[in-house]
């Protein structure tokens, strides 16, 4: 963790100085757990947002040990986890346009930035893509991976029934700042 500057940067990566160009980092020992243990201890969430700076795939791998511990939606920064998510039964994917969930492009009429309301950078619409389309797509901007189990939940189905209009795909990586 940096001793000054961007206090939001933290990682379990031993090479954080090199990776982020930071100087004067300090190490801290903190307790750790697995995503599976969190689900077992606190219950199965509908949406799991994973941002573990270098260990996102380890979270997904821990979920493989219990088929009942799979949230309907997983939002993850590590697109390298795509194959592991497919192996866990996730079949619908989106790439989020924008640097963060707070800046994700969402459909007109969105009520809260739920995964099903986020514009898919692959298509420019709220629809989901298959894993192959995500593998072929190489955006210029940052894009987190959204994964969903095959069947939409009731809230997603109700939203999709309203059929939000598509947006201009050339604008999905615009940064308003």
Q: Give the pair of three-digit tokens for residue 162.
A: 């309203």
The confidence score (pLDDT) of residue 177 equals 37
Q: Tens of pLDDT along 58-102? A: 999 999 999 889 999 999 888 888 999 999 999 999 888 665 555
Q: Tens of pLDDT along 4-29? A: 555 555 665 666 556 666 666 666 77
Residue closest to 82 by CA, chosen among 72, 94, 71 = 94
Top-confidence residue, 46 or 114: 46
Top-confidence residue, 32 or 112: 32
Q: Tens of pLDDT along 148-177? A: 999 887 888 787 677 555 544 444 444 343
d(C-alpha 97, C-alpha 119), whole Å: 7
């Amino acid at each position: 963790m940096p001793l000054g500057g961007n206090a939001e940067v933290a990682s379990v990566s031993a090479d954080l100085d090199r990776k982020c160009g930071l100087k004067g980092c300090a190490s801290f020992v903190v307790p750790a757990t697995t995503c599976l243990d969190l689900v077992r201890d606190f219950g199965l969430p509908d949406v799991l947002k994973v941002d573990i700076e270098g260990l996102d795939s380890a979270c997904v791998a821990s979920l493989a040990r219990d088929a009942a511990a799979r949230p309907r939606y997983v939002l993850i920064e590590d697109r390298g986890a795509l194959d592991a998510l497919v192996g866990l039964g996730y079949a619908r994917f989106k790439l989020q346009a924008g640097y963060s969930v707070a800046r994700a492009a969402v459909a007109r009429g969105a009520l809260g930035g739920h995964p099903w309301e986020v514009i898919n950078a692959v298509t420019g619409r709220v629809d989901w893509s298959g894993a192959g389309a995500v593998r072929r797509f190489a955006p210029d901007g940052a894009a987190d991976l959204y994964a969903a189990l095959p069947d939409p939940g009731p809230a997603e189905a109700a939203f999709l029934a309203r059929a939000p209009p598509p947006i201009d795909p050339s604008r999905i990586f615009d940064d308003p700042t």
